[in-house]
A = this chain, B = another copy of it.
Amino acid sequence: MTNGNGSNLLHARRIALDTHDEPVIITRRDCPVCRSEGFSSHARVRIQAGNRRIIATLYQIESELLERGDAALSESAWNLLDVEDGAELYLSHPQPLESLSLVRGRIFGRPLSKSDLNAIITDIGAGRYADIHIAMFLTAMATRGLDDRELIDFTGAMVDAGDRLQWDRTPIADKHCVGGLPGNRTTPLVVSIVAACGLWMPKTSSRAITSPAGTADTMETLCPVDLDLPAMRRVVEKEGGCVVWGGSVRLSPIDDMLIRVARVMDLDAEDQLIASVMSKKVAAGSSHLVLDLPYGKTAKIRSEAEAKHLGERLARVAAAFGLQTRIVRSDGSQPVGRGIGPALEARDILAVLDNQADAPADLRQRALTLAAELLELAGAAPEGGGYALAEETLSSGRAAKKFEAICQAQGGMRDPTVAKRSFGILAPRDGVVAEFDNRRLGRVAKLAGAPAAPASGVELHVHLGDRVVREQPLFTIHAEASGELSYAREFAASNGDIIRLE
């Protein structure tokens, strides 16, 4: 009804406004379209340009910065509409958001059917949910929890909303760590070992949700990770493996939209985690999957019982989509390796690949264990023979060579950057390292700027059981900006028990 009619036409203006991923359109309060259509500020409006349509949040301005017939678009809206400066935009009222009543029903206790979940995920994928609505959906799910049927349907809806990879061979190996343990960056090592042994492992990884670094953040300090689907396929066909950012290949793209809001909420909910992990795996076409579940008092998973429960739910969802899985429950009482933050973790990975004498032994050990399970599960090593094969592949330098080849294939290997500023946190007295608070240590790294500033974070100098003397450095804070360095220092200074001495 409102299309093709000149009265609701505006012309697009680019002002390079970065609102992160929320599409925003700014018009003059006195623009004829807003008057005739009755749009008010903070409304949601539908924008059509060519054959593309999005829903955006409308802000209004009283200023000569814009002409009355112009509309400024945020970068996210600009890219979604794929327009040029001056392009014709048609504004109209969006359809009522029917699926929101399903979310409200869920808040008040009604279950979500498969078609309910599909309707919600479809509307989110079409950009019809404002951030407030996504927050409402995530909270409603987190509060009541999903049962197995809902969880499988939620996962399936996420898969259906994006692209899906098909591979002309099997097995397709995959691994995933639920995270929560600073520095536990085994993925690039496992991919290198497994691919060097001839298996295919097309790995997609996420960026940090509430942690100082995700695998994609760390890998990005070593080579490009935002490959599209054809580019990712070329890397895997050439080298047998890759480590790319899941968001840029559009595997389960809804997951990234949910994660963006969950990050502002600082919320890690079990159902969302399971659907996030499994939708990526199903969409990536994986057939054999090893899951790493580290648990500990201050890890994301607090106890072995919780790890067992989560592992069983993950395995049930995996089975529903035909994936074979092995669960590895590991010690999560202290960080792994030395670095916490993208570039600092990348240095640890390079040290292990190079078989350096001072490479972090714990990181090496964990990577070998996971690679071993995956080699056995996927049939590349006999039962009980995976560890020896993985160890030999790493020690011989074949894994390092494979890693370099993957980085080159992804667009070129580079050195991780070094932060401009650093500050050492010293032991307040003699003692033995008795306990780590992983959460607050992660927070120091985040306050220092990780993951947005990739060279920032925490470099650990001690592990559990180490004997230290007064004024010996416990860890070093690295930062790129002085404000962030002082903020992380202040937090560390007022939290002297992050590393508890006995």
Contacts and interface: CB of A to CB of B under 8 A. Distances in A.
Interface of A: 1-2, 8, 15-20, 22, 26, 29, 35-38, 40-42, 59-63, 65, 74, 92-93, 96, 100, 104, 107-108, 130-133, 135-136, 138-140, 142-144, 261, 264-267, 269, 443, 447, 449, 452-453, 479-484, 486-487, 490
Copies, count:
2
Contacts of A17: 26, 59-61, 63
B136 A61 contact: no
Contacts of A140: 139, 143
Given A1-B486, A18-B29, A38-B449, A135 B143 contact: no
A86 B479 CA distance: 32
A109 to B, nearest CB: 8
Contacts of A26: 17
A447 B478 CA distance: 54
Nearest to A40: B452
A60 B18 CA distance: 5
A142 B107 contact: yes
A265 B18 contact: no
Nearest to A490: B1
A134 to B, nearest CB: 8
A50 to B, nearest CB: 21
Given A18-B41, A135-B136, A482 B36 contact: yes
B135 A132 contact: yes
Given A1-B486, A132-B131, A483-B8, A62 B16 contact: yes
Nearest to A44: B264
A266 B453 contact: no
A139 B61 contact: no
Contacts of A29: 18
A271 to B, nearest CB: 12
16 contacts: A2-B483, A15-B61, A15-B65, A17-B63, A18-B41, A19-B59, A20-B41, A36-B481, A37-B484, A38-B452, A65-B65, A93-B484, A100-B266, A107-B143, A108-B143, A136-B138
Given A41-B18, A59-B19, A104 B266 contact: yes
A500 to B, nearest CB: 21
B142 A135 contact: no
A266 to B, nearest CB: 6
